[in-house]
Amino acid sequence: MKEYLLLFRNASSPNGYLASSQDMAEDMPRWQSWIGGIAMQGKLVHTAPMEYAASLVSSDAVTSGPHKESNSVLVAGFLICKTESLEEVQEWSKTCPILKYPHSSVEIRPLIPFPIN
């Protein structure tokens, strides 16, 4: 089976996530059900939401705050799964709870294992 990284992107406000604490609490059962469906198939490797706080390191500086795209969209969480096909991951992603928010998306990236030798 191949592993895939799903990056959950969502719009943000200037100093935090766009979704309120109440929105997040109301969404929790949807996330638990969605992630649970993947886990019940034995295909969940790891998942976690991300704090808003971040450091961005470049070759010449370290800055505070997460990287945001020009429309204030940033990575809010991730999931690593394993499956036989990209199409299966795409189908799961179409029902991801993040997609209810404006400017949200799920980016799917196949992972390449490092050689052991």
Write the pLDDT tens digit of every residue in 93-111.
Answer: 999 999 988 889 999 999 9
On whether residue 67 sits in a domain, the answer given is: yes
CB atoms within 10 A of CB 56: 12
| Structural domain boundaries, residue 93 | 2-110
On whether residue 105 sits in a domain, the answer given is: yes
Higher pLDDT, 16 or 9: 9
Which amino acid is located at 69 in the chain?
A: E
On whether residue 117 sits in a domain, the answer given is: no
Write down the pLDDT at residue 66. 79
CATH number at residue 68: 3.30.70.1060
> What is the number of domains present in the chain?
1
On whether residue 115 sits in a domain, the answer given is: no
* Entry pTM: 0.86
On whether residue 38 sits in a domain, the answer given is: yes
Q: b/e string for 1-33 if b means 16 or more Cβ within 10 A?
A: eebbbbbbbbbbeeeebbbeeeeeeebeeebee
